[in-house]
Amino acid sequence: MRVLENRVVRSIAILAFLLVGYLTFWPVPIRPYAWTPAPDPGQTGPYVPNDDLARADLIPVGLAPGDVAPETIARGPHDGRLYTALANGWIVRLRDGGRLAERVVWVGARPLGVAFGADGTLYVAHTRRGILAVTPDKRVRTVANCVDGPFPGFTDSLYVAADRSIWFTCPSRRFDLDHVRLDGMETQPTGRVMHYDPRTRAATTALDGIMFANGITMGPDEDFVLVNEWARYRVTRLWVAGPRSGEHETFIDDLPGYPDNIHRDAEGLYWVGLVIRRNALLDRLHPHPFLMQILPRIPAALQPFPPRFGWLLALDADGRVVHNLQDSTGGSDQVTGALRVEDQLYVSSNVLPYVGRLPVPPRIAP
């Protein structure tokens, strides 16, 4: 009996040794960047809990299984209809008051940001193909991309300026969209803001060193760019005209979630989707690269995943929160942003098969 007990103890010790060795030394694809996040504000202050977003009407965007994930929404300058790009590569158009969807053109998986030029050309930030221009007669061509040396890059979001130039984001030099969770663990500041000039047909880097550059928009006078730093829970402002051109600063920091897309409405408010909430474990691990490297070695089912939650904010010109819409029911899961059309909000998600629509609520009392 004692011999059997000793064998069991030795076996357990060996397994424990092997497990510790695996969690400590097994090669992983990430090189974590050490930084210390500010405390998560959670649902306090301007982020108080509510389920206002759960009141949204749900507008199907698909005609078949797989027609899901309307990442962003744009309004056609000539027909006034709403357009979005789905995960399977279809650009679809909502019609009849936003109630029906029709397929317009297929660009291949996976398109993300969409925006129109004044001439009716639809520009698409495609993860693999770069910035695509889709003409009204459905011809598709690539006008710019995020290629940087040996890394092909992937394109995420874009804004078409009045001068027909395009500001767009390249989230990472390290990982593609399929491995975005690894980028969220590593948080290396390799994201970029790019600027495409249609006169020279060249794209140049306007801002480098961003922790996963995501959504992008411009101010009402187009003298600055706002870019969401997804992995750092903040929005950064880059001045691109005037006496401060080339300078950048924090527009809002310490958000309670990962900011995805950002859209400026006619009143000058900036609508930001918090695609997922912050995770307390990740925040504690970010200052400790050695400990962060353990996470990819853990089976995916045991890694920290956020609960289903929808969250949409609106910021004023000074970066203050003036709208706070949440949905703890999961019906508006992983909100990526919103497009405001007059008094209606059209809310997008990167996992759901519909767009949410609801009236613009009153602002938060100062």
Query: Which of 2-6, 20-24, 302-306 tops mean pLDDT?
Result: 302-306
The residue range of the domain holding 254 is 44-359
What pLDDT band is residue 7 in, cutting at 50, 70 and 90?
low
What pLDDT band is residue 301 in, cutting at 50, 70 and 90?
confident
- Cβ-proximal residues to 97 (8 Å cutoff; 6+ apart), any chain: none
What pLDDT band is residue 283 in, cutting at 50, 70 and 90?
very high
**pLDDT at residue 158 greater than cutoff 90:** yes
Q: Is residue 29 part of a domain?
A: no
Tokens matching residue 35: 């930084």
User: How far out from the chain centre does Cα 283 lie?
Assistant: 19
Query: How high does pLDDT run on average in the chain?
Result: 92
What average pLDDT score do residues 50-59 get?
94
Q: Is residue 26 part of a domain?
A: no
Q: Is residue 298 part of a domain?
A: yes
Q: Is residue 224 part of a domain?
A: yes
Write the DSSP assignment of 121-136 as a string of letters: PEEEEETTTEEEEE-T
What average pLDDT score do residues 254-277 get?
97
Encode pLDDT of 217-265 as tens digits.
999 999 999 999 999 999 999 999 999 999 999 999 999 999 999 999 9
Distance CA 222, CA 253 (A): 22
* Domain CATH for 117: 2.120.10.30
The reported pLDDT for the residue numbered 16 is: 59
**pLDDT at residue 285 greater than cutoff 60:** yes
Distance CA 189, CA 208 (A): 8
Tokens matching residue 246: 């080339």
The reported pLDDT for the residue numbered 6 is: 62
Count of domains observed in the chain: 1
The reported pLDDT for the residue numbered 64 is: 80
Encode pLDDT of 70-119 as tens digits.
999 999 999 999 999 999 999 999 976 556 789 999 999 999 999 999 99
Report the percent of the chain where pLDDT is more than 70. 91
* Residue listed under structure tokens 């509510």: 50
Exposure class string for 201-211: b at 16+ Cβ within 10 A, else e: eebeebbeebb
Encode pLDDT of 177-222 as tens digits.
999 999 999 999 999 999 999 999 999 999 999 999 999 999 999 9
Q: Is residue 170 part of a domain?
A: yes
pTM of the entire predicted model:
0.94
Q: Is residue 128 part of a domain?
A: yes
The reported pLDDT for the residue numbered 95 is: 75
Q: Is residue 33 part of a domain?
A: no
Q: Is residue 8 part of a domain?
A: no
Distance CA 105, CA 194 (A): 26
Distance CA 168, CA 156 (A): 7
What average pLDDT score do residues 314-325 get?
98
